Structure 1
Amino acid sequence: MFLIIVATNDSILNSLIYQEAKRKRILINVIDDRSKCSFIFPSIVDRFPITVAVSSGGTAPVLTRMIKERIESILPMNLGNSALLAERWRSHVKLKFKKNTHRRYFWEKVFNGIFVSHVLNGNLKKAIKTLNTEIKQKKSFKGEIFLVGAGPGDSGLLTLRGLQVIQQADVILYDSLVSSDILSLVRKDAKKIYVGKKANKLCVSQKNINSMLINMARNGNKVVRLKGGDSFIFGRGGEELEIAKKFGINFQVVPGITAATGVSAYAGIPLTHRNYSSGIIFITGSNKEKEKNSQDWSFISKCKNYTLVIYMARLQSTYIFDKLKFNNYPLDMPMALIEKGTTSEQNTIIDTFKNLKKLSCLMKRPTLLILGKVVSLSKELSWFKKNSN
């Protein structure tokens, strides 16, 4: 024998059998006694030939059962018939489409289309007819660029559409602000290329990033440009899509939760409030002279009843302070400095504007600066477990 299951109510007998099995190196499972198991049975959701196994390694069987019940509720009982039909047609599809990527595109379209609905309704003749029609149609496997905002850090803030897209991608070009948790959600066989930019460090130029996007899409790939936050807010997303449009590449945009809204929410700072702020101003603390000089600091300083959010503020904190102070921005205005926002490493400093230069030196990573009366609500509304000063 190679496997033993023990299900007696005699603990001494169970222990004896376990010790003997262990001595002879035989797999054993003593039911309801995790310490005497060399393997664990997962909870099974059976939609033959599709099988989903859920296991906690024996640590939380009740939780495992609850997860299984949720999965059971969303997978129709006859879903497996889709896989059985697909198996019969695999050889036909392989003959028609020589490339793996083309076969994957074909099946993605089939399983996202009317085919599955026919199967679930028990109309197998219509399902087969649909498959036959799809195979005979001429396919144009053009590459496409997806501009996806990954959110401010917490993988739970990635949108459902964003998740769907990154799991269909052939190539992912990602930035430094995209968290490892989000990258772990990417399809395992997708090619991941880091193209992040960090201040004062060598990095991939925007020109080279544009070239990679175009060339990979021209080769028939689904290319995802994955950026932290939202791609259209200080993310150069518009610039990259202008290039795609110029070269005739199809593209789609999946918005993301921008750092200003996500990070401020996790810090307990409502960006608007009837009693504190009537609007929001977003600017960037870019170190480029052209972008710095484009800011109207006089106008910004006059908007004392607005919330001012400055992205990437750490390295330019002295410049920002001097410009605002010169234009009579209130030194006692409540201020928040936040790094690694929405993650387990979130670090938040609440103080006043007059201490910006001194406190920004305590930050080691890209930092979001929030100025405004709403910051004073953080102490009352802060809810997220974080490192707080």
Structure 2
Amino acid sequence: MATGRAKTPARMEDLSVLPLFFRLKSKAVLIAGASDAAAWKAELMAAAGADVTVFLGREVADAALLALEADGRVRLSGAHWSAADWTAFELALGDCENDAEAQAFRARAKAEGVPVNVIDKPDYCDFQFGSIVNRSPVVIGISTDGAAPILGQAIRRRIETLLPKSLKDWTGLAAGLRDGVNARLKPGGARRAFWEHFVDLSFSGTSGPDDGAADRLLSRATRIAASPQTGSVTLVGAGPGDPELLTLKAMRALQAADVILFDDLIAPEILELARREAKRMLVGKRGGRTSCRQEDINRMMLDLARAGKRVVRLKSGDPSVFGRSGEEIMALRDAGIPVSVIPGITAASALAAGTTTSLTHRDCAQSVRFVTGHSKKGALPADIDWRAIADPTTTTMFYMGGRTAGEISARLIAEGLPPETPVLIAANISRPDERRWHGTLASLGRGMAEIGHDNPVLFGVGRVFARKSAVTGATNATQVLANPLGADSEPLYALAR
């Protein structure tokens, strides 16, 4: 059985900084400066429960600092930071006017073994402050490593809209339930299944848990403990390649998986979104190459599910569109393994979106067909009704037809489809290296030779592709190889950058 590894490290890409979370309750923190920036850091430290002393250096305190002192949240000292007893402090933050003062402040902190942050001077910092999303005890920190603070703030705003305010109450409930759940459920799949159900409840609405939520959840944990542990398989569509085209439901499945069996066409960026602890197994299936047999993949899914694992079978595009999902579903159902399917964006839809083309534009086509370009043996399918497919009022999308494109062109023309019918070929759809060829049915074989067979290829046949947008809708990374269609869309040999 042919298996392999992901092409790039799948668990964690390089980090510019490591996010850490400090418990500062009752810890002494030194802050130097009388500015509004110093006041904000003092308020932040006080919000984390720190014992904050601000050394003003005989400057006039900012109004915000005076308000914090009046509330009893910080202490103000007129002394300069150099006169402080640094051995009493756990952290030091300074608002320094120039590099010389910043260097001196950092040197003193390092001499005393105190982690230091100089506000707005990253070269003198041991740690940094990012944008914060506060749903305490859930706290999210966002860092751009000082490169783009405005971007960090924009990301924070985006996350704020995704997290309900009630998350704080649900997190508090989780803390109260933890001991009871741990007593009922052993570590592993059953305990994780309980907490995933808890997470679904937490995000199911805007309201917090009611008075009976704790009892109901503990009862559920008891029922899970009494039930035999069985695994499951979820067939997940990964879409054509762009990670942003992954559905939210697919994301949740990847985050819940114990094992991920993924195709050779899955982008590494999609695997990066999966649960870190999940085992990843490449079960590559590529036309014209040595592949893992379907029988072996079925057996792997059965063995893993019987061992109680939550298996994700990650497929390129949509599992139900030429993804051989029918064979896998049948094998799993016959064995009594729970199986579900999460659809993905199929390549034809992604190509239509990428070229701003309507596959059923009412001036050109009244229907759309998805047709396989090869049989199980790799040749042109013998049971296709070519006369029906050669319909000028239909848009036809051919999957896996790279090696049979010339034969397809000849059969369609023989059945009466005009040789000048527009054709659009695309390879690596939605990916940064996407390439397109725009031409006619008569020249389809030549176009496929230019595109090549090494990467996933889809081509569409129909009048909708005569529209200019079928070429000019390309993204900046898209290479348009040819466009011999004449007046409606001028010839293009261009690599847009």
TM-score, scaled relative to structure 2: 0.70
Q: Which residue of 2 aligns with 1:126?
A: 212
Counterpart-to-counterpart distance in 2, 1:205 and 1:24: 63
Could you tell me which residue of structure 2 aligns to residue 206 of structure 1? 294
Please point out which of 378, 387, 411 is paired with 1:298.
387
Q: Bigger relative contact order, structure 1 or 2, given CA contacts below 8 A and separation 6+? A: 1
Q: Distance in 1 between matches of 2:441 and 2:387?
A: 16
Aligned pairs, number:
386
Contact 1:307–1:373, Cα closer than 8 Å, also in 2: yes
Which residue is equivalent to 1:384?
Answer: 475
2:458 to 353, 368, 379: 368
In the alignment, what sits opposite 2:189? 101
2:357 to 222, 244, 269: 269
Residues 42-51 or 378-387, more deviating: 378-387
| Structure 1 residue aligned with 2:79 | none
Change (3 A) 1:75 1:268: closer
Residue type at the aligned position of 1:388: V
Following superposition, the deviation at residue 21 of structure 1 comes to: 7.1
Aligned with 1:321 (options 404, 409, 412)? 409
Question: Which of 342, 365, 372 is 1:254 aligned to?
Answer: 342
Q: After the TM superposition, which of the residue ranges 224-233 and 374-383 deviates more from structure 2?
A: 374-383
1:318 and 1:7 mapped to 2: Cα distance?
71
Separation of aligned partners in 1, 2:202 and 2:414:
64
Matched, 1:351 2:439: yes
Measure how far apart 1:340 and its partner are. Answer: 0.5
Amino acid at match of 1:120: G
Shift of 1:299: 2.6
In the alignment, what sits opposite 2:331? 243
Query: Can you list the C-alpha shifts for 1:151-203, whole angstroms capped at 9, x where unaligned?
Result: 11111111111111221121211112222221111111112211121123221
* Aligned-pair CA distance for 1:4: 4.4
Counterpart code for 1:127: A
Which amino acid counterpart does residue 226 of structure 1 have in structure 2?
L
Q: Find the partner of 1:285 among 354, 361, 373.
A: 373
- 1:175-190 equivalences in 2 (<5 Å): 175-190=263-278
The alpha carbon displacement at 1:73 in A equals 4.5
> What is the one-letter code of the residue matched to 1:271?
L
Contact 2:321 2:346 in 1 (8 A): yes
**CA shift for structure 1 position 387:** 2.1
Aligned with 2:419 (options 325, 331, 348): 331
Q: Which amino acid aligns with 1:146?
A: T
Equivalence map 1:69-80=2 (5 Å)? 69-77=157-165, 79-80=167-168
Which of 221, 236, 242 aligns to 1:135? It is: 221
Instruction: Say whether the 8 Å CA contact 1:339–1:348 is kept in structure 2.
Output: yes
After superposition, the Cα gap between the structure-2 partners of 1:330 and 1:117, relative to the gap in structure 1 and judged at 3 Å, is closer
Q: Which residue identity lines up with residue 52 of structure 1 in the other structure?
A: I
Per-residue CA distance 1:63-90 (angstroms, 9 max, x = gap) = 2123223434443556345444434443
CA distance change for structure 1 residues 350 and 291 in 2, over 3 Å: closer, same or farther? closer
Q: Give the partner amino acid of 1:373.
A: R
Alignment RMSD: 2.9
Please state how far the C-alpha of 1:339 moved relative to its aligned partner: 0.4
Give unmatched runs, 5+ long, in structure 1: none
Contact 2:380 2:407 survives alignment (8 Å)? no
Indicate if the aligned counterparts of 1:76 and 1:120 stay in contact, CA closer than 8 A. Answer: no
Q: Deviations over 1:64-118 (max 9, x none)?
A: 1232234344435563454444344434333322241111112222332389989
Partner of 2:305: 217
How much does 1:140 deviate? 4.3
Compute the displacement of 1:59 (Å): 1.5
Q: 1:149 to 1:18 in 2, by over 3 A?
A: same
Greater radius of gyration (CA): 2
Aligned to 1:42: 130
Residues in 2 aligned to 1:149 and 1:75: alpha-carbon distance in whole angstroms:
26
Provide the C-alpha distance between the structure 1 equivalents of 2:141 and 2:187, rounded to a whole number of angstroms.
Answer: 31
Cα distance in structure 1, aligned partners of 2:205 and 2:359: 44
Name the amino acid aligned to 1:126: G
Q: Is the 8 Å Cα contact of residues 81 and 119 (structure 1) preserved in structure 2?
A: no
Deviation at 1:268, TM superposition (A): 3.0
Stretch deviating more after TM superposition (318-327 or 217-226): 318-327
* CA-to-aligned-CA distance 1:16-75 (integer Å, 9 cap, x gap): 545787899975433223444453212222333322111111112122123223434443
337-346 vs 73-82, which deviates more? 73-82
2:164–2:203 Cα contact (<8 Å) kept: no
Q: Which residue type is aligned with residue 455 of structure 2?
A: R
Conservation of the 8 A alpha-carbon contact between 2:177 and 2:214? no
Say which SS state the counterpart of residue 361 (structure 1) adopts: helix
Cα distance in 1 for partners of 2:170, 2:204 equals 6
Preserved CA contact (<8 Å) 1:115 1:131: no
Q: How does 1:84-95 map to 2 (within 5 A)?
A: 84-95=172-183
Higher mean Cα deviation, 350-359 or 25-34?
Answer: 25-34
SS in 1 for 2:256: coil
Structure 1 residues 23 and 91: alpha-carbon distance in aligned structure 2, compared to 1, 3 A threshold: closer
Task: Assess if the C-alpha contact under 8 Å between 1:4 and 1:27 holds in 2.
Answer: yes
1:195-230 Cα deviation digits (max 9, x unpaired)? 121123221111111111222222222222211111
CA offset at residue 142 of structure 1?
Answer: 2.5
Residue identity matched to 1:234: F
Deviation at 1:239, TM superposition (A): 1.8
Q: Against the structure 1 CA distance between its residues 76 and 353, is the aligned structure 2 distance closer, same or farther, given a 3 Å change threshold?
A: closer
Separation in structure 2 between the aligned mates of residue 214 and residue 170 of structure 1, nearest angstrom = 14
Q: Contact conserved, 2:165 with 2:206, CA < 8 A, in 1?
A: no
Distance in 1, matches of 2:382 and 2:349, equals 26
- Alignment partners' CA distance in 2, 1:16 and 1:297: 81
Identity percentage over the alignment? 32
Contact 1:334 1:375 in 2 (8 A): yes
Secondary structure, aligned partner of 1:196:
coil
Unmatched runs of 5 consecutive residues or more in structure 2: 1-85, 482-497
Q: 1:75 to 1:257 in 2, by over 3 A?
A: closer
Once the two structures are TM-superposed, the CA of residue 309 in structure 1 deviates from its matched residue by 0.9
Contact 1:267/1:348, CA 8 A, preserved across alignment: no
Letter in 2 for 1:293: A
Q: Secondary structure at the match of 1:13?
A: helix
Tell me, yes or no, if structure 1 residue 33 matches structure 2 residue 121: yes
